Amino acid sequence: MWELSVAWWELILRGVLTYFLLLLLLRLTGKRQIGQLAPFDLVLLLVLSNAVQNAMNGGDNSYTAGVVSAVTLVALNYGIGLATFRWKWMERMVEGKPTLLVHNGRIDERALRHEQLTHHELMSALRRAGCTDVAQVHVAILENDGQITVLPFRNNRDLHDEAKPRAADAGEGTTA
Model pLDDT, residue 30 = 64
Q: How far apart are CA 144 and CA 138, in angstroms?
A: 19
Q: How far apart are CA 50 and CA 58, in angstroms?
A: 13
Q: How far apart are CA 24 and CA 156, in angstroms?
A: 45
Higher pLDDT, 122 or 21: 122
Domain span holding position 150: 99-157
Q: How far apart are CA 111 and CA 120, in angstroms?
A: 15
* 84 lies in the same domain as 103: no
Q: Which of 76, 95, 114 is the last residue of a domain?
A: 95
Statement: the pTM of the whole predicted model exceeds 0.75:
no
* 12 lies in the same domain as 89: yes
Model pLDDT, residue 1 = 66
Look at residues 75, 61, 52, 60 and name the one whose alpha carbon lies nearest to residue 7.
60
* 73 lies in the same domain as 112: no
Higher pLDDT, 60 or 171: 60
pLDDT band at residue 5 under the 50/70/90 scheme = confident
Q: Which of 80, 95, 110 is the last residue of a domain?
A: 95
pLDDT band at residue 106 under the 50/70/90 scheme = very high
The domain spanning residue 134 has which CATH number? 3.30.240.20
Q: Which of 95, 117, 141 is the last residue of a domain?
A: 95
Q: How far apart are CA 17 and CA 48, in angstroms?
A: 15
Model pLDDT, residue 159 = 40
- Which residues, including other chains, have CB under 8 Å from residue 80's CB and lie 6 or more apart? 23, 94
Using DSSP's 3-state secondary structure scheme, residue 53 falls into helix
* 78 lies in the same domain as 112: no
What tens digit of pLDDT does each residue of 113-136 get?
Answer: 998 899 999 999 999 999 999 999
Look at residues 13, 120, 8, 135 and name the one whose alpha carbon lies nearest to residue 65.
8
